[in-house]
Structure 1
Amino acid sequence: MDAFLDFLRFERRYSAHTVVSYQTDLRQFADFLKASYELTEPADATHPLIRGWVVALMQQNLDPRTVNRKVACLRSYYKFLMRAGRIPSNPMLRIKAPKMAKKLPEFVAEDSLNNLLNSFEFEDTLAGRRDQLILELLYGTGIRLSELLGIAPDDISPSARTVRVTGKGNKQRLVPLNPALLAVLERYQTRRSAELGALSGPLLVTDKGEPLYEQFVYRRVKHYLSQITTSAAQQHPHALRHAFATHLLSKGADLNAIKELLGHASLAATQVYTHLSVDRLKSVFDQAHPRA
Structure 2
Amino acid sequence: MGGTEDRNTRGTRAVHAALPEPLRDAVDEFARYLASVRNRSAHTVRAYVADLVSLLDHAHRMGCAEVAELSLDTVRSWLAKQRTMGAARTSLARRAAAARTFSAWAHRGGLLPTDVAATLASPRPQRTLPTVLRADQAALLVEAPTRGATISARPAADAHPADAQPAGTNPADAQPADAHPGADAGSAMEMADGAEAGDRVAEAVLLRDRALLELLYGTGVRVSEACGIDLADVDHGRRVVRVWGKGGRERSVPYGLPAQRALDEWLRRGRSVLAVPDSRDALLLGARGGRLNPTTARRIVAAYAQAAGLPRISPHGLRHSAATHLLEGGADLRAVQELLGHSSLASTQVYTHVSVDRLRTAYRQAHPRA
Could you tell me whether the CA contact under 8 Å between 1:218 and 1:236 is conserved in 2?
yes
Cα deviation, residue 117, structure 1: 2.3
What residue number does 2:30 align with?
Answer: 4
2:60 is the counterpart of 1:55 = no
295, 304, 325: which one aligns with 1:224: 304
Cα deviation, residue 107, structure 1: 1.4
What residue number does 2:118 align with?
Answer: 93
145, 148, 154: which one aligns with 1:121: 148
Cα deviation, residue 210, structure 1: 2.0
Greater shift in the superposed pair: 276-285 or 24-33: 24-33
Write the distance in 2 (CA, Å) between the matches of 1:184 and 1:173. Answer: 22
262, 265, 274: which one aligns with 2:343: 265
Could you tell me whether the CA contact under 8 Å between 2:274 and 2:286 is conserved in 1?
no
Write the distance in 2 (CA, Å) between the matches of 1:151 and 1:130. Answer: 13
Could you tell me whether the CA contact under 8 Å between 1:43 and 1:78 is conserved in 2?
no
TM-score, normalised with respect to structure 1: 0.90
Greater shift in the superposed pair: 192-201 or 206-215: 192-201
Relative to structure 1, is the Cα distance of residues 134 and 43 closer, same or farther in structure 2, using a 3 angstrom cutoff? farther
Q: SS where residue 165 of structure 1 aligns? A: strand
Greater shift in the superposed pair: 23-32 or 82-91: 23-32
What residue number does 2:273 align with?
Answer: 194
What residue number does 2:234 align with?
Answer: 156
2:70 is the counterpart of 1:45 = yes
What residue number does 1:171 align with?
Answer: 249
Q: Which has the larger radius of gyration?
A: 2
Greater shift in the superposed pair: 14-23 or 82-91: 14-23
2:53 is the counterpart of 1:27 = yes
Cα deviation, residue 126, structure 1: 3.0
Cα deviations by residue, 1:7-36 (Å, 9 ceiling, x for unpaired): 2222222223222222222233334444x4
Write the distance in 1 (CA, Å) between the matches of 2:220 and 2:356. Answer: 21
What residue number does 2:285 align with?
Answer: 205
Write the distance in 2 (CA, Å) between the matches of 1:151 and 1:188. Answer: 14
What residue number does 2:195 align with?
Answer: none
Cα RMSD after superposing both structures: 2.2
Cα deviation, residue 208, structure 1: 0.8
Relative to structure 1, is the Cα distance of residues 125 and 73 closer, same or farther in structure 2, using a 3 angstrom cutoff? same
TM-score, normalised with respect to structure 2: 0.72
Could you tell me whether the CA contact under 8 Å between 2:209 and 2:300 is conserved in 1?
yes
Relative to structure 1, is the Cα distance of residues 40 and 136 closer, same or farther in structure 2, using a 3 angstrom cutoff? farther
Cα deviations by residue, 1:256-289 (Å, 9 ceiling, x for unpaired): 2111111112322211111111111111211222
Gaps of 5+ in 1: none
185, 199, 223: which one aligns with 1:145: 223
Gaps of 5+ in 2: 1-26, 151-201
What residue number does 1:65 align with?
Answer: 90
**Identity over the aligned pairs, expressed in percent?**
36
Q: SS where residue 120 of structure 2 aligns? A: coil
Relative to structure 1, is the Cα distance of residues 144 and 40 closer, same or farther in structure 2, using a 3 angstrom cutoff? farther
Cα deviation, residue 41, structure 1: 4.4
Cα deviations by residue, 1:150-199 (Å, 9 ceiling, x for unpaired): 11111111112110001112111111121111111122223121332576
Count of matched residue positions in the alignment of Structure 1 and Structure 2:
288
What residue number does 1:252 align with?
Answer: 330
Greater shift in the superposed pair: 250-259 or 221-230: 221-230
Could you tell me whether the CA contact under 8 Å between 1:132 and 1:184 is conserved in 2?
yes
Cα deviations by residue, 1:73-122 (Å, 9 ceiling, x for unpaired): 11111100111111111221343322322322221222212122235336
Cα deviation, residue 218, structure 1: 2.1
Relative to structure 1, is the Cα distance of residues 30 and 130 closer, same or farther in structure 2, using a 3 angstrom cutoff? farther
Write the distance in 1 (CA, Å) between the matches of 2:101 and 2:329. Answer: 39
